[in-house]
Every structure is written in structure tokens, then in C-alpha cells.
Amino acid sequence: MVTVILLILSNIFMTFAWYGHLKFKEAPIFQVILISWGIAFFEYCFQVPANRIGYGMFTAAQLKTIQEIITLVVFALFATLYLGESFRWNHALGFAFLVLAAFFIFYPGSASTAT
């Protein structure tokens, strides 16, 4: 559970680092890059421990899959709530297919722990 919480926190920071500046088109690009880089530092402060703690309980492929699903959820919320974009049926369908892919990554017949 700690791994998932840390991954959620890291994705919140990274989403703001990568896309938060889109509301501030008038800001100079160099300034935006420096601010984004500063925000991304905190993403790493959560991402690296999440992977260290989770590896062994999860394989690297499973950790990446968890991270990608969290990224999609965080981004969907961010785009809707912060940027004011619509969440459409094709987005939901695409995300559903990615969740289906995650199902196969975690399928019980596969190796579930790292060696």
C-alpha cells in the first residue's frame, strides 16, 4: 500500500510539472522549464522510494503498470478539474483497454514477485 500511495503522490507532482504550465501561456518558456524542473524534483522524492519499496513485492513490469494506471487516473482528473477539459467516451474506452492490459500483466498464472 505504501508503494501505491508514493506512486500517487509522485504522479500528482509530475503531472503538474509536465502540464501545469499550460494555464500560463504568457510565462516565459525558460521560467516554465525551471519551475517544472523544481516540481519534478519532488516527484523523484516519491517515485524512487516507491520503486525501491515495491520491487520484490512486485516485478519491474508490475511496478511500471501500476504507475501507468495511476498516471492515467491522475491525468484524467487533472485535465478535467484543472484544465477544464472534457472527459469523453473514447478516453474512457482507451483507459479501459489499458486497465485490461494491466489485468494481463498481473494475471495469477504469471510470476508475481521479482527474483
**Burial (CB count <10 Å: 0-12, 13-18, 19+), residue 74:** buried
Does some domain include residue 114?
no
| All three cell numbers of 107 | 494475471
Domain that holds residue 57: 2-105
Does some domain include residue 110?
no
pLDDT tens-digit profile, the chain (115 residues): 999 999 999 999 999 999 999 999 999 999 999 999 999 999 999 999 999 999 999 999 899 989 989 998 999 999 999 999 999 999 889 888 988 888 888 887 655 555 5
Does some domain include residue 113?
no
Half-sphere exposure of residue 77: CA atoms within 13 angstroms, side-chain side: 10
What's the domain count of the chain?
1
